[in-house]
Amino acid sequence: MNIRYIFGVFVLILYISFFSCSEESTTENEINPSTSRSAKIVYLNNESVSGSRTRKLILKNFDGSDSLELTDEASFSVCPKFSPDGNYIYYTKENGYLYKYNVKTKEHTVIFTSAPYCENIIVSPNGSYILYYSNSAWALINTDGTGIKYVYSGYSEQLKFMPGGNSLCSVDDDRITFRNMDGTEINSIQIPVGNNLPIWLIGVSPNGQQICYLNDQQFRLEAINMDGSSHIVLATIYEPVPGIIIYPSTHFAFSPNGTNVVYVKTIQHDFFKALYIVGNNGSGNTKLTTTDARYNHPVYSKNGSKIFFHSNLDGDYDIYSINTDGSGINNITQDAFDTGYHSHGGFDIWEP
């Protein structure tokens, strides 16, 4: 056989193989666009215009690049939440409408209209549903705006998705209730708190093993297993001062692996706060922040190495990050106006 012919065939095979691999690589990146995407933050910008407070949404990368105003000053937009894949941002406006923003096409779509002013929204871990809190009631809807069901009446921090996003969990007086997606009860567990009926602010560990909640009467953060066993006190969120009566608030979040909880503690009666981390068994309670300021809405990064929070460390309010050992505080938003303030969290983080 001609040697030149054999060599030509060999080169042709290499050529075909090379372009086949390139095509496979391109196809994979198209299917999984998050492989080349940057971590992003969406937040409220509380700017004062002509003496009136406005709320517009800003989207940017963690390094401050690609900053984009999603809504204008007059829209009074609140409650921004990413979809789990980072492709969409859900938010509401003062008119009560629920919107979906496509991060890639930059298109805004109204997906729900028939509700009063919304105070909070939660996107399910599987990205299929949205919990929408308005007028002291929770509604569950599909992310395309269809299939609305009113599933629960109560406070805005009393209902959460379970891991996986296919069931719900609520706090009801001295019980924690597990619910179907239509709000009907599956079962419940009793919390050993006597007759105080103090439970609210519920959090569910990502591994589905534990529930954390606030004992509001005794200023304690407590936890219990899903089956009702191993009730423990994790931390005290406020040390009462004789003769001074206040009602301190706290926010808390589980780490991605469920082994730690970050929470806010009020310091004495001056309403300064601090961030702490405690183990899910109550061990290793550690103060992270040392500067007197207000700290709100801490959340863990996807890999658990950082914590994001809302604070007035630099005078006005911004969104910050801090390493879990207390080092490396970084102002992410660095806006000239109060940023990210909302009673149920004015920012959200997405990481690939």
Is the pLDDT score of 318 beyond 80? yes
129: helix, strand or coil? strand
Name the more confident of 110 and 156: 110
Q: What is the mean pLDDT of residues 273-294?
A: 92
Name the more confident of 151 and 15: 151
Q: How far apart are CA 130 and CA 16, in angstroms?
A: 47
pLDDT band at 346; cut points 50, 70, 90:
confident
Residue 192 pLDDT:
76
Per-residue tokens: 70: 């999603």
What strands, in cross-sheet order, belong to the sheet with 129-134?
Answer: 118-123, 129-134, 137-142, 149-153
Q: Are strands 129-134 and 118-123 parallel, antiparallel or unpaired?
A: antiparallel
pLDDT band at 134; cut points 50, 70, 90:
confident
Is the pLDDT score of 20 beyond 50? no
pLDDT, tens digit (0-9, with 9 covering 90-100), for 161-184? 999 999 999 988 788 999 999 999
CB 131 within 8 A of CB 140: yes
Is the pLDDT score of 88 beyond 50? yes
Q: Which residues contact 88 (CB under 8 A, 6 or more apart)?
A: 82, 100, 101, 102, 103, 143
Residue 183 pLDDT:
95
Q: What is the DSSP string of 220-233?
A: EEEEEETTS---EE
pLDDT, tens digit (0-9, with 9 covering 90-100), for 22-52? 333 333 333 344 445 789 999 988 765 555 5
pLDDT, tens digit (0-9, with 9 covering 90-100), for 104-132? 999 999 998 866 677 889 999 999 999 98
pLDDT band at 316; cut points 50, 70, 90:
confident
- Give the percent of the chain with pLDDT over 90: 46
Q: Are strands 129-134 and 232-236 parallel, antiparallel or unpaired?
A: unpaired
Residue 23 pLDDT:
38
Is the pLDDT score of 338 beyond 90? no
φ and ψ of 299, to 5 deg: -140, 150
pLDDT, tens digit (0-9, with 9 covering 90-100), for 179-198? 999 999 999 998 876 545 55
- Indicate the helix (H) or strand (E) that contains 216: none
Q: How far apart are CA 131 and CA 96, in angstroms?
A: 14
Cross-strand pairs, 285: none
Name the more confident of 162 and 318: 162
The mean pLDDT value of the chain amounts to 81
219: helix, strand or coil? coil
Single-letter residue type at 258: G
Residue 342 pLDDT:
60
CB 293 within 8 A of CB 273: yes
Q: What is the mean pLDDT of residues 329-351?
A: 77
User: What domains sit in the chain, N to C, each tagged with a CATH number?
Assistant: 157-287 (2.120.10.30)
φ and ψ of 17, to 5 deg: -65, -40
21 CB burial (10 A radius; 0-12, 13-18, 19+)? exposed
pLDDT band at 232; cut points 50, 70, 90:
very high
Q: What is the mean pLDDT of residues 148-172?
A: 90
Is the pLDDT score of 101 beyond 80? yes
Chain mean position to CA 273: 20
CB 223 within 8 A of CB 263: no
